[in-house]
Structure 1
Amino acid sequence: MNVIFLLTGLAFVFAVGWFMSSDRKKIRFKNIGILFSLQILISFLCLNTSGGIYALTEISNFFSWLMAQASGGVDFVFGGFVLKEGAAVFFFIVLMPIVFVSALVGILNYTKILPFIIQWTGWALNKVARMGELESYFAISTAILGQPEVFLTVKEQIPKLTEQRLYTICASAMSAVSAAMLASYMKMVPGQYVVVAVFLNILSALIISCIVNPYEPEMDDELVKIPKGNKDPFFQVLGTYILDGFKLAVTVGAMLIGFVSLVTFLNSSFDVFFGMTFTTLIGYVFAPIAFVMGVPGQDIVQVGSLMATKLITNEFVAMGTLHELASNLTLKANAIISVYLVSFANFGTVGIITGSIKAINEKSGFHVAKFSMKLLTGATLASILSGTIVGLYF
């Protein structure tokens, strides 16, 4: 039965992608086959072997340990707040550790460890999947650095990119999540699903691009590298990353206040006028998609509601709701929706990406704005693909 739902999920993703495709005759089936095979291999090793399960557990434990280290600084500044239970301290428990993780990312970047990993992992991905050097490099770097910062690593190339290549890198940016966010996600979603989603989403974004946005990659590009030299003093760089992490935490907090309040308002209003909450209504709209992904029938409305909530608001809002509902869902439904939620595919991110590209180059920003809805749909299909693959093992 799991194989049947894998096929229905794949059929849905391909059908929507084919309908959106800019050139159906050039859909890159060979590349799709290679990337999909990598996804099956990675998901099998991670979720269906003792070694993979052990590795995921250790990675999850490592991020939990990082969160515990972060609490030292948070506790020092905010005192007893972090000791209290409940949603009132979400900002301190979940978001403030982003500051610490961002500092670690800054150290790893300054010491050239991250540039080395990104460069050679991107090189290996390109050799296997033949997606193009720039596209492969960017797919890896966006999963570590996140956006909008990742666009700065290719700012000199962006004005020279065609619309097709621009779409591919933007799709990767929407489908991946930054390393600074992983520990916070793991406070609401099981760590093993977060880690698997990071791996799968890198490849899912490229698969969707092969369908929606097919073109022959330029294989003779010089591999883009994060600038190796950093003339700024270490502590100045570290301070910048710490402040960026704090700004990110505050921004996410502000978005959550606005979006959660809006959803609460809509739920109350719909309940009064229609006898049904807004989230339940959109759950019925997305329930058929959840079903073809393999979500058990008794969970499809709740999972559909979470899928829509993420699209309309952001992944944090949906994860917060999932954290409350998880005990009422089956293991398979939890696995599928958890992986689906680990990406930046929502309306707000489209605005962030468009603004980031526009700040680098006005013309390129216009191109991104023109295909923004196609970009959002493609990134959502990538999340559906990743969730569907994980459902195969539950």
Structure 2
Amino acid sequence: MKYLIFIISLLIIFIVASAISFKTREIKRKAIPIVVLLLIEAIVAFIFLHTSVGTTILNTTSMGLEYLIRHANKGIDFVFGDISHKTPVVFVIVALMPLVFICSIIGILKYFGILRLIILILGSLINKVAKVGKLESFSAMSAVVVGMMAVYVSIKEYIPNLTKPQMYTIAACSLSTVDIAILGAYTQMLSPQFVFIGVCLNFFSTFVIISIINPNDPVEVPSHFSSFKDEHHSFFEVLTDHMLDGFKLILAIIPMLLGFIALISMLNDIFSYIIGISFQGLLGYIFSPLAFVLGVPWQDSIQFGQIIATKILTNEFVAMVDYIKLENLSPRTEAIMSVFLISFANFGSIGIIIACIASISKEHGKIIAANSFRLIIGSTLVSCLSATMVGIFVS
């Protein structure tokens, strides 16, 4: 049954992506890269979930993240007292405060050129497989390493000359991938192994969906283009700047959580009073068919439908807060739901991207705003593809 659902899910994803494609007739040119990317994605999912090598990688990654979080808690406990080990835990302290320490590690790796080397190597490999262009593939890698906003700063000299499809591709890459600074917060709410799997699968899913929605020729850039510059400041300046960046990231997340959770609570109350069902309950029924098509058992589909809607309308953190309250989920449902949540595919993130690009080029900010619907659909399809892919390999 799950194999039939998997095939149906792929068909629906491809049909929807084709329906919003810039050039539907050109999709056939991308057939080979799409098939190759899907095969690689399936192999990656199989290795992680069904081989000793994959298990070792996941366990090592989980232990590495736990190690960083443990040391991050040392700083948290010094500032706030022994709060990270108390129950009930404070969400901001346990999930978000480690971002400061993780960002400082990123700063160190950037200072010594390690992250730039990773971008160059992996960006080149992705470009060879996906055939999406150097600017697009390097932008995707940069989004993972330096974050969604920093990507546009690193390529700002190219933005004024980019077309609408090209702008879509770069924006879609930053929406569908997750920067490493935020992973520590995710692992405090989701299973670390699924966080890591989700990040890996999203990378391939992103280029599958982009190849369908934007099958145009890639951007031409100089041969020496690297999209990411090494830090030229002093070591301690880089270190303190990244610590401050981590804290700014926390300050950006907290207002959204406060506002969205309060708004959803009010809407739940209003809808319950007027029609006898909460706002999230109603969305759960609306999105339950999508949840079922992704491979979630029917008995869990309404709950997952609520999570899908919450993530798209608000952000992944609000959805994760709701997700961790759910109990007695099957292993397959847990895998699918966890992987689906690993991305920035929501309206709030699109608003941030529009503001960032508009600060560089107002005209191109308007281009992104005009393509908001295509972006939210495309980035959600990326999450759907990754989720349905992991679901086929979990019993």
Q: Compute the TM-score of the two structures, normalised by the length of structure 1.
A: 0.96
Contact 2:145/2:179 (CA < 8 Å) preserved in 1? Answer: yes
Say whether 1:248 aligns with 2:249: yes
Contact 1:133/1:223 (CA < 8 Å) preserved in 2? Answer: no
Write the letter of the residue equivalent to 2:342.
V
CA distance in 1, matches of 2:5, 2:230: 49
Residue 140 to residue 225, structure 1, CA distance change in 2 (3 Å): same
The residue number in structure 2 matching 1:349 is 349
Cα deviation, residue 252, structure 1? 0.7
CA distance in 1, matches of 2:236, 2:185: 25
Listed one character per residue, the Cα deviations across residues 23-67 of structure 1 (whole Å, up to 9, x for unaligned) are 110012222112111111111111121210121121012111111
Listed one character per residue, the Cα deviations across residues 156-213 of structure 1 (whole Å, up to 9, x for unaligned) are 1212222111111100100011101101101111111111111111121111111112
The residue number in structure 2 matching 1:5 is 5
Cα deviation, residue 227, structure 1? 4.8
Cα deviation, residue 77, structure 1? 0.8
Cα deviation, residue 138, structure 1? 1.3
* Unaligned runs of at least 5 residues, structure 2: none
The residue number in structure 2 matching 1:97 is 98
Bigger drift between 180-189 and 362-371 goes to 362-371
Contact 1:134/1:221 (CA < 8 Å) preserved in 2? Answer: no
Q: How do residues 382-393 of structure 1 correspond to structure 2 at under 5 angstroms? A: 382-393=382-393
The residue number in structure 2 matching 1:368 is 368
Bigger drift between 362-371 and 102-111 goes to 362-371
Say whether 1:140 aligns with 2:141: yes
Contact 2:100/2:247 (CA < 8 Å) preserved in 1? Answer: yes
Listed one character per residue, the Cα deviations across residues 218-251 of structure 1 (whole Å, up to 9, x for unaligned) are 5775253245453321111111111110010121
CA distance in 2, matches of 1:40, 1:387: 12
CA distance in 1, matches of 2:38, 2:225: 25
Residue 227 to residue 143, structure 1, CA distance change in 2 (3 Å): closer
Cα deviation, residue 90, structure 1? 0.7
User: Match of 2:233, SS?
Assistant: coil
The residue number in structure 2 matching 1:54 is 56
Q: Compute the TM-score of the two structures, normalised by the length of structure 2.
A: 0.96
Write the letter of the residue equivalent to 2:271.
F
CA distance in 1, matches of 2:148, 2:105: 17
Q: CA RMSD in A?
A: 1.4
Runs of 4+ in structure 1 deviating by more than 6 angstroms, as ranges, are none
CA distance in 2, matches of 1:229, 1:280: 48
Write the letter of the residue equivalent to 2:318.
V
Q: How do residues 145-164 of structure 1 correspond to structure 2 at under 5 angstroms? A: 145-164=146-165
Cα deviation, residue 329, structure 1? 1.4
Q: How do residues 26-37 of structure 1 correspond to structure 2 at under 5 angstroms? A: 26-27=26-27, 28-37=30-39
The residue number in structure 1 matching 2:289 is 288
Write the letter of the residue equivalent to 2:14.
F
The counterpart of 2:74, out of the listed 68, 72, 75, is 72
* Unaligned runs of at least 5 residues, structure 1: none
Contact 2:135/2:227 (CA < 8 Å) preserved in 1? Answer: no
CA distance in 2, matches of 1:189, 1:196: 12
The residue number in structure 1 matching 2:108 is 107
Write the letter of the residue equivalent to 2:12.
F
Listed one character per residue, the Cα deviations across residues 363-393 of structure 1 (whole Å, up to 9, x for unaligned) are 2112111111111110011101110100001
Write the letter of the residue equivalent to 2:343.
S
Bigger drift between 361-370 and 166-175 goes to 361-370
Report sequence identity in percent.
Answer: 40
Residue 332 to residue 166, structure 1, CA distance change in 2 (3 Å): same
